[in-house]
């Protein structure tokens, strides 16, 4: 009896156990079957391209709902889904053995698996009818694994996460509308392009590679964008005018890429510890108040900011290698960020705006100022590249705020603002087409230059010091109005150098094609053949030490009145005078007979050596119909043509009528300005 009861319990136990576990086991079998769906392989042997044609599938059997679909070979490369719209399939794969590019079309699909391109060729799925793809039963992945994959169809996330994967060097294109409450994750080191007017409301996560946007509408969701931690990801604006107003979290490194001529505007708040980097030659505009704490790297592009809080105070701004990285302040602001010029740092400010840099400017790159606005340097900066002003104003807020290497003021103004500076390199003023200005808006400033000063066009009103040589080149005009003490030679090789300040320490050599003018003071002056020295800019007195003219050079004065300095221009020489060139007199009024104009007022000890070409002492000559008599022994103190060592000309009565006729016959009577002939060689 006992054995029977035991057997009965055993049998009951077995029966009870089977009843208890049968349903879970069945469910497990069903789930396992769904996750390992049967695979139907396309061979394309049918007489049409329809999916329901069994001859198109391996084994002569068409797929059924729930199957995975594998496309291989190179036949019937335009498969058409003619199953009822919304039929469920467990994924679509382009196999590694696919030797042609396929384009799938037809009815919409409930997708319970992934869409993957494992072939090395580009594959595509056209716009499916109805709802297109509807993600069903969980998160799904579209993957350009071994080759490019383009999906033109709509995708309804249906509350599921869509992962867009692209392997290195591959591109996944999603041109259909992505909708639903699900989110989008970009994975892989390749590129995913969003081309549709998307409405999905889930979050967007970048976990490597590049996410390309063809329009603002590609990311229209109100949910945020996250750059995943541990990854370097790129958000690529493929068109101009794209604006993203979503908040961005930079847990990893965030790269914002914009092509030349295009602009990407980020108006949402950017937060997180990840780094911010621009890429490409376009513009990234930050218009929000951001709190990210990583560094800011400008790499070959323009970063435009309209407020100081666009870049947080703890964020170091790094200018990448190359020459195109630009920080563009679209409004007036003060930044206390460190500016690290690994490459050239370009600072652009529009007219009427001021960018004040209170933080340290460091690095080996150049500092270049662009735009018509003002940049103020307020820190004791230690960058070592040269400083270039292309336009607008660069102003010193403190001494030592610019590098001690080369300074180029090619356009605009370098305002020393009452500060002094010592540099060991070369100072360049102006270019072939632009003029620069070196000035001080505060008290007098001194710039000590160790090597050379190259001037082409513009003005310098600060005091120049040091051992530098100054060279004037090109056809432009440069005006010096400071109290200069530089000791190197001044060479005027071309164009005009106007000295209206003190420059008596430096000797001047004027070469053929060069002109020295002004009402200041210079050192020794040597005029080579073809050179010109003209007292005053209009009127005025140009003071020199020794004055030496070579044959073929020209000394010029302007006569517009009877008073030296204000009425007519003259040279005041403290030293020897050697004449061997031409005298050029420009007259704009009619003098009275006996008026004496002292062209050269010599010191009291040195006699004049030589004469102007063709003008011996006492010679008569005509200028604009007025006859003058020249003297090389005039005395300015006694207002006399004799008794001294000055050079003067006196207005005398015109010649007799016969002489006038003869002179007119020679063609000179009607000249309003006379340059005496140079001697024959």
Question: 467-481: per-residue pLDDT in tens?
Answer: 999 999 999 999 999
Which pTM does this prediction carry? 0.85
Q: Could you report the per-residue pLDDT of 71-105, keeping only the tens digit for each?
A: 999 999 999 999 999 999 999 999 999 999 999 99
On whether residue 133 sits in a domain, the answer given is yes
Phi-psi region of 140 (alpha: psi -120 to 50; beta: other; left: phi over 0): beta
For residue 205, pLDDT over 60 is answered with yes
On whether residue 578 sits in a domain, the answer given is yes
On whether residue 142 sits in a domain, the answer given is yes
End residue of a domain, out of 162, 192, 223:
223
For residue 524, pLDDT over 90 is answered with yes
On whether residue 260 sits in a domain, the answer given is no
- Quick one: pLDDT at residue 127? 98
On whether residue 68 sits in a domain, the answer given is yes
What average pLDDT does the segment 24-33 reach? 33
- Quick one: pLDDT at residue 655? 60
The C-alpha atoms of residue 317 and residue 328 are separated, in whole angstroms, by 12
What average pLDDT does the segment 199-228 reach? 94
Top pLDDT among 660 and 263 is at 263
On whether residue 234 sits in a domain, the answer given is no
Q: Which domain holds residue 587?
A: 547-675
For residue 283, pLDDT over 70 is answered with yes
For residue 614, pLDDT over 50 is answered with yes
Q: Tell me the sheet residues that pair with 487.
A: none
- Quick one: pLDDT at residue 23? 34
* Type and span of the H or E element at 460: strand 458-460
Mean pLDDT, rounded, of the chain: 91
| Per-position DSSP letters for 579-600, written without gaps between them | E-SEEEEEE-S-PPTT-EEEEE
- Quick one: pLDDT at residue 656? 53
pLDDT band (50, 70, 90) for residue 8: very low
What average pLDDT does the segment 509-535 reach? 98
Q: How many domains would you assign to the chain?
A: 2
Q: Could you report the per-residue pLDDT of 116-131, keeping only the tens digit for each?
A: 999 999 999 999 999 9
pLDDT band (50, 70, 90) for residue 606: confident
Nearest to 97 by CA among 120, 131, 80, 130: 120
Label each residue of 367-413 as H, E or C: EEEECCCEEEECCCCCCCCCEEECCCEEEECCCCCCCCCCEEECCEE
Q: What are phi and psi of 104, to 5 degrees?
A: -90, 140
Neighbours of 216 (CB within 10 A): 17
Phi-psi region of 305 (alpha: psi -120 to 50; beta: other; left: phi over 0): beta
On whether residue 298 sits in a domain, the answer given is no
Cβ atoms of 102 and 76 within 8 Å: the answer is no
End residue of a domain, out of 166, 192, 223:
223
Q: How many helices (H) and strands (E) does the chain have?
A: 2, 73
On whether residue 71 sits in a domain, the answer given is yes
Cβ atoms of 283 and 304 within 8 Å: the answer is yes
Nearest to 361 by CA among 312, 317, 410, 399: 317
Cβ atoms of 488 and 470 within 8 Å: the answer is yes
Q: Which residue has the tokens 């002492």?
A: 617
The mean-pLDDT minimum among 271-285, 519-533, 546-560, 655-669 falls in 655-669
**Highest mean predicted confidence (pLDDT) among 217-221, 302-306, 654-658:** 302-306
- Quick one: pLDDT at residue 605? 85
For residue 544, pLDDT over 60 is answered with yes
Residue 657 to residues 234, 254, 589, 664: CA-CA distances in angstroms? 92, 92, 22, 10
Q: What are phi and psi of 260, to 5 degrees?
A: -55, 135
Q: Which residue has the tokens 């070592």?
A: 384
- Quick one: pLDDT at residue 228? 98
End residue of a domain, out of 201, 223, 245:
223
- Quick one: pLDDT at residue 487? 96
Express as a percent the part of the chain with pLDDT over 70.
91
| Per-position DSSP letters for 283-304, written without gaps between them | EEEE-S-----S-EEE-SSEEE
pLDDT band (50, 70, 90) for residue 407: very high
Label each residue of 160-181 as H, E or C: CCEEEEECCCCEEEECCCEECC
Chain Cα centroid distance, residue 334: 20
Query: How far apart, in Å, do the first and last CA atoms of the chain sit?
Result: 153
- Quick one: pLDDT at residue 678? 33
């Amino acid at each position: 009896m006992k054995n029977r009861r035991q057997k009965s319990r055993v049998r009951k136990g077995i029966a009870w156990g089977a009843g208890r576990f049968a349903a879970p086991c069945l469910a497990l079998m069903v789930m396992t079957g769904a996750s390992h769906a049967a695979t139907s392989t396309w061979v394309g042997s049918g007489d049409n391209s329809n999916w329901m044609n069994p001859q198109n599938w391996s084994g002569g059997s068409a797929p059924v709902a729930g199957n995975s679909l594998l496309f291989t070979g190179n036949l019937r490369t335009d498969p058409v889904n003619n199953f009822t719209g919304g039929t469920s399939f467990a994924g679509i794969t382009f196999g590694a053995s696919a030797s042609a590019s396929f384009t799938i079309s037809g009815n919409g699909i409930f997708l319970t698996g992934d869409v993957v391109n494992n072939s090395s060729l580009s594959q595509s799925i056209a716009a499916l009818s109805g709802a297109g793809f509807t993600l069903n039963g969980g998160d799904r992945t579209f993957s350009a694994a071994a080759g490019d994959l383009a999906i033109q169809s709509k995708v309804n996330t249906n509350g599921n996460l869509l992962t867009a994967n692209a392997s290195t060097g591959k591109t996944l294109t999603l041109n259909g509308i992505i909708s639903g409450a699900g989110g989008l994750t970009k994975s892989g080191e390749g590129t995913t392009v969003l081309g549709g007017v998307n409405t999905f409301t889930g979050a967007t996560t970048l976990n490597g590679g590049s996410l390309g946007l063809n329009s603002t509408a590609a990311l229209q969701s109100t949910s945020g964008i996250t750059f995943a931690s541990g990854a370097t990801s790129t958000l690529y604006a493929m068109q101009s005018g794209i604006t993203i107003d979503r908040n961005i979290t930079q847990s990893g490194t965030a790269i914002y890429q914009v092509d030349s001529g295009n602009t990407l505007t980020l108006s949402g708040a950017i937060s997180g510890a990840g780094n911010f980097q621009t890429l490409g030659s376009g513009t990234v505009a930050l218009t929000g108040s951001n709190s990210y704490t990583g560094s800011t790297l400008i790499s070959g592009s323009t970063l435009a900011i309209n407020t100081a809080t666009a870049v947080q105070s703890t964020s170091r701004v790094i200018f990448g290698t190359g020459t195109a990285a630009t920080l563009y302040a679209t409004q007036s602001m003060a930044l206390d960020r460190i500016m690290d010029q690994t490459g050239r740092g370009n600072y652009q400010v529009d007219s009427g705006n001021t960018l004040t840099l209170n933080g340290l400017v460091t690095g080996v790159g150049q500092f270049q100022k662009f735009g018509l606005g003002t940049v103020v340097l307020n820190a004791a900066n230690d960058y070592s590249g040269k400083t270039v002003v292309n336009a607008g104003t660069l102003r010193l807020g403190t001494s030592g705020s610019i590098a001690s290497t080369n300074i180029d003021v090619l356009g605009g103004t370098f305002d020393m603002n009452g500060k002094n500076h010592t540099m060991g390199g070369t100072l360049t003023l102006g270019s072939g087409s632009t003029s620069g200005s070196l000035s001080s808006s505060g008290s007098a400033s001194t710039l000590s230059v160790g090597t050379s000063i190259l001037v082409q066009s513009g003005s310098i009103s600060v005091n120049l010091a040091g051992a530098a040589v100054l060279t004037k080149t090109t056809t432009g005009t440069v005006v010096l109005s400071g109290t200069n003490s530089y000791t190197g030679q001044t060479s005027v090789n071309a164009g005009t150098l106007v000295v209206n300040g003190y420059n008596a320490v430096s000797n001047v050599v004027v070469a053929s094609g060069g002109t020295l003018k002004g009402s200041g003071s210079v050192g020794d002056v040597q005029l080579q053949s073809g050179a010109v020295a003209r007292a005053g800019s209009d009127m005025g007195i140009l003071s020199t030490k020794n004055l030496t003219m070579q044959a073929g050079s020209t000394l010029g004065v302007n006569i517009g009145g009877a008073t030296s300095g204000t009425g007519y221009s003259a040279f005041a020489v403290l030293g020897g005078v050697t004449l061997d060139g031409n005298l050029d007199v420009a007259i704009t009024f009619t003098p009275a007979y006996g008026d004496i104009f002292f062209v050269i007022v010599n010191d009291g000890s040195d006699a004049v050596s030589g004469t102007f070409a063709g003008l011996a002492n006492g010679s008569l000559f005509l200028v604009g119909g007025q006859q003058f008599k020249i003297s090389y022994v005039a005395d300015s103190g006694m207002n006399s043509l004799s008794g001294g060592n000055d050079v003067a000309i006196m207005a005398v009565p015109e010649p007799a009528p016969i002489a006038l006729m003869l002179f007119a016959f020679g063609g000179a009577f009607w000249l309003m300005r006379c340059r005496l002939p140079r001697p024959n060689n």
